[in-house]
Amino acid sequence: MNRRSLSHVLTGTRIRERRLALSRRQADVARAAGISPAYLNLIEHNRRPVGPELVQRLAKVLEVPSDELAEGREEARIATLREAVARLADDGPDAAPELDQAPEFLARFPGWAAALVALARRSEALERQLVTLSDRMTQDPYLLTTLHEVLSAVTSVRSTASILAEESEVPDEWRHRFRANLDEDSLRLSNTAQALVAYLDSFEADGAIFTPQEEVEAWMAAGTPSIEAARDLASDAGRLLARTHLARLDEETAALPDAVLAPAAREEGDPLRIAARLGCPLDLVMRRLAALRPPGFERAGLLVCDGSGALTLRRPAPGFPLPRPGDACPLWPLYQALGAPQTAISHVVVTPEDRRFSTLSFATRSQPAGIGGPVLSRAQMLILPGDGAAASPASAAIPIGSSCRICPRADCAARREPSILLAR
Amino acid sequence: MMLDILMIEDERNIAEAVRFILGRDGWRLRLHPDGEGGIEAIRENRPRLVILDLMLPNRSGTEILAELRSDPDPALASTPVLMLTARGETAAAAEQADAVLAKPFANQDLRDLVRRMLE
């Protein structure tokens, strides 16, 4: 049966169903519609085509909106119904509906058909949501780490509390230790749960602040107001990070005061020359330039990462693309610097939106625990909008993005996962 | 004297609780707090049972278990391993482990499992 004849069957069947539902005789309806009873009989048995004008007349006589009888609407409904039924049929051999009878089913039981379609659509929407959440659960390092923290703390609390409640004659030394452990774990659980709730809340609103690091970034963007009064610092972890940040800023300001840095920045412009002139480490000069933002550096941003590449400070320059924590573009010169410590690396980078930034990256290594302790790496990248001061004029622009998942560059050699912007 | 249990677990408070309850049952237990050096600790102590956390810093429990199972010493390679997991990876972990216990666990479940594996 071809498409055209299928739609006629539908229309004819629906006209007949409607007429019978109103208990009207074929002859009466035919007369009211201006056609012969024999012709209506042929239509109702799907043996004659029915044009849109006649459908309108019949609809008026049968007291229904004309689109209830129209071909296009029926075809669309049939297609939707077939699709819905096909999806449900994927569930197993027991679900094997008679697809060829979908038109008849729709015509005879429009309410059931509509319910079936609505159910299939809801199922599809829930599947999409599940995939999105599953992606987040399995790929989001922050969520994985936080959930692991919660489980670890709960495990410790459960085992320890059981010992105190159930074991007889626990020696005092152990009893005191277990009480201290419980106190420590309950605090840890409280902080982690708080951060987790804030994070999960953010699932509802794309772009919302949800990690302690992002709380600190929002707080910095607001001009570092008093920590106690800052609305952006919602979690204990966020407030702790903010305090640590302030303490480091104070130390660095003491080491390189504004009154010393500002004139040197104005006269030299180049961060390496500023560092040489002042006899200061380059990484200190870069951080202070991003914090003070003297003339020539008013729109400076700064990214800092540890040896694993995780961003520990994100103070973006206007328009520079920043991903969620843990998912940055591997082509950022920041990461080149990790492989070449103590070497200043300058590059112009260009975003997918064709915004250009000059960058200066520099990495350091240290052994704060002394000889034999772990070697800690840290890299930082000073970012200035445009092709200006921080980059060497001869450097070629590096095409960068935010993170692979939302980057539209199809031919990127550094891609580590497909982009949702390039799918199909 | 032969060591009964070597526990490789980075969560100090969990390790202390386990050490207490299994110690009460009379098992000789030693702790190793990191994935790094875990396989060396097993080779050095040659315990009758390894309790191994899945998520460890520096080296995962899965990696340690795989290296243990491929050890050229057949006796060492077949050391019974009880894997502790805090994530939904029990199926993968169970492939090479002799038993898997999901966190959080009841102390009595741990006791029963250890007794079955050692007796």
Per-residue pLDDT for B87 more than 60? no
Length of chain B: 119
Distance CA B67, CA B55 (A): 16
Distance CA B9, CA B58 (A): 12
The SS3 assignment for A20 reads: helix
- Please identify, in words, the CATH class of the domain defined by B5-118: alpha beta
ipTM of the assembly? 0.91
The SS3 assignment for B3 reads: coil
A148 in B contact zone (CB under 8 Å):
yes
Asked if residue A292 lies in contact with residue A262, where contact means CB atoms within 8 angstroms, the answer is: yes
Residues A360-383 pLDDT 10s: 999 999 998 898 889 999 999 999
SS (H, E, C) A242-299: HHHHHHHHHHHHHHCCHHHHHHHHHHHCCHHHHHHHHCCCHHHHHHHHHHHCCCCCCC
Asked if residue A160 lies in contact with residue A178, where contact means CB atoms within 8 angstroms, the answer is: yes
Chain A residue with Cα closest to B106:
A159
Nearest Cα to Cα of residue A420 among A337, A332, A307, A323: A323
b/e sequence A258-280, b meaning 16+ C-beta within 10 Å: eeebbebbeebebbbebbeebeb
Per-residue pLDDT for A135 more than 80? no
Q: Supply the pLDDT for residue A6.
A: 42
Q: What is the dihedral of CA A407, A400, A381, A208, to 10 degrees?
A: -20
Q: Which residue has the tokens 């320059």?
A: A317
Listed by start position, the domains of chain A span 3-129, 141-205, 299-424
Distance CA A168, CA A244 (A): 44
Residues of B in contact with A178 (CB under 8 A): 16-17, 20
| Domain A3-129 of CATH type 3.30.1950.10 | no
Residues A390-407 pLDDT 10s: 445 555 788 888 777 667
Total beta-carbon pairs less than 8 A apart between chain A and chain B: 60
Angular region, A232: left φ>0, alpha ψ -120 to 50, beta rest: alpha
Distances, alpha carbon A140 to alpha carbons A125, A145, A405, in Å: 22, 9, 12
CB contact under 8 A, B103 and A151: yes
B88 in A contact zone (CB under 8 Å):
no
Q: Supply the pLDDT for residue A238.
A: 83
A178 in B contact zone (CB under 8 Å):
yes
CB contact under 8 A, B18 and A181: no
B31 in A contact zone (CB under 8 Å):
no
* Beta pairing, strands B29-32 & B5-8: parallel
**Closest-CA distance of chain A to residue B17, Å:** 6
Query: What are the structure tokens assigned to A60, written together?
Result: 């008026």
Mean of the per-residue pLDDT values of chain A: 81
pLDDT bucket at A128, cuts 50 / 70 / 90: low
Phi, psi of B102 (to 5 degrees): -85, 135
Q: Is the dihedral of CA A372, A375, A376, A380 positive or negative?
A: positive
CB contact under 8 A, A152 and B106: no
Residues of B in contact with A144 (CB under 8 A): 87
Listed by start position, the domains of chain B span 5-118
Q: Which residue has the tokens 């250009």?
A: A356
**A163 vs B11, B20, B104: nearest CB:** B20
CB contact under 8 A, A178 and B107: no
Which residue in A155, A166, A184, A187 has the most chain B C-beta atoms within 10 A of its own C-beta, making it the best mutation to test that interface? A155
DSSP class of residue A339 equals T
Q: Which residue has the tokens 């070597």?
A: B6
pTM of the model: 0.44
Residues of A in contact with B105 (CB under 8 A): 155, 158-159
Q: Taking residues A193-197, what's their average pLDDT? A: 78
CB contact under 8 A, A152 and B86: yes
CB contact under 8 A, B86 and A174: no
A185 in B contact zone (CB under 8 Å):
yes
Rg for chain B, CA atoms, rounded: 13
Q: Is A339 exposed, middle or buried (0-12, 13-18, 19+ CB in 10 A)?
A: exposed
pLDDT bucket at A4, cuts 50 / 70 / 90: very low
Q: Supply the pLDDT for residue A228.
A: 80
Q: Supply the pLDDT for residue A178.
A: 94
pLDDT bucket at A136, cuts 50 / 70 / 90: low
Residues of B in contact with A158 (CB under 8 A): 104-106
Residues B23-41 pLDDT 10s: 999 999 999 998 889 999 9
Chain B residue with Cα closest to A181:
B13
